[in-house]
Amino acid sequence: MDHREPPLPFDPLGREAWRAQVERELRGAPYERLLVRLPWGDALDPLAVRADFPEDRPPLGSAALAPWARGLAADGSAGRFDLRALRTEPRPEDAAAAARRDLADGASSLLLRLGAGGVAVANAVELDRALEGVDLARVALAFEGLADDDATAGWLVELAARRGVDAGALRGSLGADPIGRLARDGALATSLDDALAALGATGARVRDALPGLDTAMADDGAWHDAGATEAQALGYAMATGLAYLRAFTAAGLDVDVAAGQIAFTLSLTGEMVVGIAKLRAARALWARIVEVAGGSPGAGAMTLHARTAERILTRRDPHVNILRNTAALFAALVGGANSALSVDFAHALGGSSALSRRLAQNTALVLALEGGLTRVSDPAGGSWTVETLTERLADAAWAELQAVERQGGVGAALVAGSVQEAIATARGARDERVRRRKEPITGVSEFPHLDEARVALDERPAAPAPTPPLGGERVTRLAPARIAEPFERLRDRSDAHLAATGLRPRVVLACLGTEADFTARATWSRAFFEAGGVKALGGGAHDGDAALVAEVVHQGADAAILCSSDAVYAERAEAAARALKERAGVKQLFLAGRPPADREAAYRAAGVDAFVYVGVDVVATLEAELARQGVRA
């Protein structure tokens, strides 16, 4: 088949012509300001073209052909997309009732989290109760959080016999992930080597007794939720898959059979283009790994599950999570995931409601069915931004894979602590961007809503915290963290202060000049303070310093922020600062904007205590102000 691009019926504009047009639109600003800097050190060029793609490499194949970056099906995946529903209710009966509701509302498979934090199942009888009313021959089943992979496989065989169903008809994934479990929990009941050997034995059993199930799930969630970059998370997931491939072949499975026993779960954020590239790169990487391991050309086709990353979900303004989930699902569908989990917007709150559950499932169904995103194979293919990003992300993830392989594999690197160090570095860099609002979080660090209504959730019994097993392998645990937590902690302090005193911590917007002078900085300052629970009061125009002082006195706060343009500051800031400090009782005075070097000393001498501007550490500034206003930590 000839895959060469046909000639265009017109003369295309060259890259330089496009760039010249963009620079004209930028009105003198440098083109480089449009580059999107990516956490693993790369940059995304909005004008990527074929010439930017590595000259020594062809584009990433065609759909239904190795390396499958463009998907497994040449005709799209219509009718084959699997919407998965997660069930975590501790009581098996509750999990079963919720599962039946999910299936009736459009889900096509179930993911059961077992053990601590999930469904309490200890034998086949309890698993039967957790799946009561679920047609095992029709609904695919997947599991996570297993304490004993082999025992769960045995329960499934017994369950099939109890129901009179051919065990060979069961489909899905057992979800065994000892490396991911070690990373998340910090401990295994045995040594990692013994756990991998047991995994190999389980794989042989599953192949014979449950041929419709994958045994292992290489899930990047442990790495991703702890703060890994997309390149790190993808590289460690590939390294985990490679470790499982070795475990299965060591147990006597052929490479092709062993590769078929491994599925992958990848976490996606709201960065849609990065998410699409991540899924495409994952398939290309796995195809290469299986090829190097000696697999046949078809053995590297990956089973790929996608889910919205938990680290991007927020407890504040949680309805915005609907949009984050939509962006992640869009990437999953366009990137060609075999299945996806649509996350409830209330997930970070620890509960759900009938409305939140229905919204989660219908979001995916609208994109897949009404939006038609599954009708076209690799709809992003041919976009050189996506193609280039796929290639660069694959290269960066491959480098991460090689780094842990040089240490003896991802398990050995985890035991040695180098993975934890690398992720901690990445997490620290991201936290710094978040704290400075360079990585904005809508509804939290940007456009916060202090008076948001509490979301009504179903009552759910508290799940017990996981208890690390005694003995066995122990490592430093990769603790998950949502990126919004630094601001959410400040908001929690503000809420507690409101409950205790009847008032929130407050700051007055002391605006100078006309609305045209102060609106931009006043709006920015309101979001700055309210992101940390400090209520911003006032904000209107004032006829002179006397009126400004009267307004601040009326508001009854001892903190204020001057807001205006640099030109108005030069004329009025010093006099206004002195008036607020001497006549309005202001004890802490901020000024919005970075002062010119030749004016800062004069502003400080007049009474300005601190300057806030784009790039300042917002969290540190607000922590200090909350403490000054007597808000307890």
Determine the average pLDDT of the residues in 536-541: 92
572 Cβ neighbours under 8 A, 6+ residues apart: 512, 513, 545, 564
Q: What's the pLDDT score for residue 387?
A: 86
Q: Which residues of 505-536 are buried (b: 16+ CB within 10 A; e: fewer)?
A: bbbbbbbbbeeebbbebbbbbbbbbbbbbbbb
Give the three-class secondary structure for 588.
Answer: strand
43 Cβ neighbours under 8 A, 6+ residues apart: 35, 36, 37
Q: What sign has the CA pseudo-torsion 382, 385, 388, 392?
A: negative
DSSP code of residue 368:
I
Q: What's the pLDDT score for residue 33?
A: 81
Question: 2 or 451: whose pLDDT is higher?
Answer: 451
Q: How far is CA 54 from CA 388, 389, 395, in A?
A: 8, 11, 11
β pairing state of 36-37 and 43-44: antiparallel
- pTM (2 d.p.): 0.91
Please report how the helices 418-435 and 618-628 are oriented relative to each other, as an axis angle in degrees rounded to 10.
70
Q: What's the pLDDT score for residue 61?
A: 61
Taking the C-alpha atoms of residue 454 and residue 562, their distance in angstroms, rounded to an integer, is 33
Q: What's the pLDDT score for residue 1?
A: 38
Taking the C-alpha atoms of residue 167 and residue 344, their distance in angstroms, rounded to an integer, is 32
Burial (0-12, 13-18, 19+ Cβ within 10 Å), 502: exposed
Q: Which two tokens stand for residue 174?
A: 């057992």
Q: What's the pLDDT score for residue 372?
A: 87
Q: What's the pLDDT score for residue 67?
A: 73
Q: Which two tokens stand for residue 533?
A: 């629970």
The DSSP annotation for 596-630 comes to PTTTHHHHHHHT--EEE-TTS-HHHHHHHHHHHTT
Q: What's the pLDDT score for residue 265?
A: 97
Q: Is the pLDDT of residue 68 over 90?
A: no
Which residue type does 96 have? A
Which residue type does 503 have? L
Cβ pair 481, 533 in contact under 8 A? no
Closest CA to 242 of 294, 296, 312, 182: 294
Taking the C-alpha atoms of residue 231 and residue 228, their distance in angstroms, rounded to an integer, is 8
- Indicate the CATH number for domain 82-428: 3.20.20.240
Q: Is the pLDDT of residue 125 over 50?
A: yes
Q: Is the pLDDT of residue 117 over 90?
A: no
Taking the C-alpha atoms of residue 147 and residue 124, their distance in angstroms, rounded to an integer, is 15
Taking the C-alpha atoms of residue 156 and residue 167, their distance in angstroms, rounded to an integer, is 8
Distance between start and end Cα atoms, the chain = 66
Which residue type does 604 have? R
Determine the average pLDDT of the residues in 511-523: 96
Taking the C-alpha atoms of residue 621 and residue 14, their distance in angstroms, rounded to an integer, is 48
Taking the C-alpha atoms of residue 439 and residue 427, their distance in angstroms, rounded to an integer, is 13
Share of the chain above pLDDT 70, in %: 92
Determine the average pLDDT of the residues in 531-545: 93
Burial (0-12, 13-18, 19+ Cβ within 10 Å), 291: middle
Q: What's the pLDDT score for residue 55?
A: 64
Q: Which two tokens stand for residue 395?
A: 């290269």
Q: Is the pLDDT of residue 110 over 60?
A: yes
Helix (H) or strand (E) segment spanning residue 592: strand 588-592
User: What are the helix and strand counts (H, E) for the chain?
Assistant: 21, 15
Q: Is the pLDDT of residue 409 over 90?
A: yes
Determine the average pLDDT of the residues in 187-199: 95
Q: Which two tokens stand for residue 514?
A: 């006309």
Cβ pair 491, 532 in contact under 8 A? yes
* Rg of the chain on CA atoms, in Å: 28
Predicted confidence (pLDDT) per residue in 434-465, tens digit: 999 999 999 999 999 999 988 888 866 555 55
Mean model confidence pLDDT for the chain: 91
Q: What's the pLDDT score for residue 484?
A: 97
Q: Is the pLDDT of residue 483 over 90?
A: yes
Q: Is the pLDDT of residue 40 over 90?
A: no
Angle at 105 between CA 211 and CA 78, to 5 degrees: 60
Taking the C-alpha atoms of residue 108 and residue 172, their distance in angstroms, rounded to an integer, is 11
Q: Which residue has the tokens 């000639």?
A: 7
Widest distance between CA atoms in the chain: 86
Q: Is the pLDDT of residue 295 over 70?
A: yes
DSSP code of residue 34:
G
Cβ pair 307, 275 in contact under 8 A? no
Which residue type does 615 have? G
Taking the C-alpha atoms of residue 562 and residue 609, their distance in angstroms, rounded to an integer, is 11
Paired strand residues for 340: 83, 306
Taking the C-alpha atoms of residue 59 and residue 72, their distance in angstroms, rounded to an integer, is 16
Q: What's the pLDDT score for residue 432?
A: 96
Determine the average pLDDT of the residues in 356-369: 93
Give the three-class secondary structure for 183.
Answer: helix
Domain borders along the chain are 15-42, 82-428, 487-628
208 Cβ neighbours under 8 A, 6+ residues apart: none
Q: What's the pLDDT score for residue 327?
A: 97
Cβ pair 449, 101 in contact under 8 A? no
Taking the C-alpha atoms of residue 12 and residue 127, their distance in angstroms, rounded to an integer, is 61
Q: Is the pLDDT of residue 283 over 70?
A: yes
Determine the average pLDDT of the residues in 200-212: 94
Count other Cβ atoms within 10 Å, centred on residue 11.
Answer: 6
Closest CA to 398 of 22, 36, 99, 40: 40
Cβ pair 118, 143 in contact under 8 A? no
Question: 181 or 4: whose pLDDT is higher?
Answer: 181
Paired strand residues for 508: 537, 560
Span of 297-301, 327-331, 420-424 with lowest mean pLDDT: 297-301
Q: Is the pLDDT of residue 340 over 70?
A: yes
Q: Which two tokens stand for residue 226?
A: 């702890």
Cβ pair 321, 345 in contact under 8 A? yes
The DSSP annotation for 552-596 comes to HHHHT-SEEEEE--HHHHHHHHHHHHHHHHHHS--SEEEEESPPP
Q: Is the pLDDT of residue 104 over 90?
A: yes
Q: Given CATH 3.30.465.10, say whether it is the number of domain 487-628.
A: no
Please report how the helices 354-365 and 321-335 are oriented relative to each other, as an axis angle in degrees rounded to 10.
30
Count other Cβ atoms within 10 Å, centred on residue 352.
Answer: 19
Q: What's the pLDDT score for residue 630?
A: 95
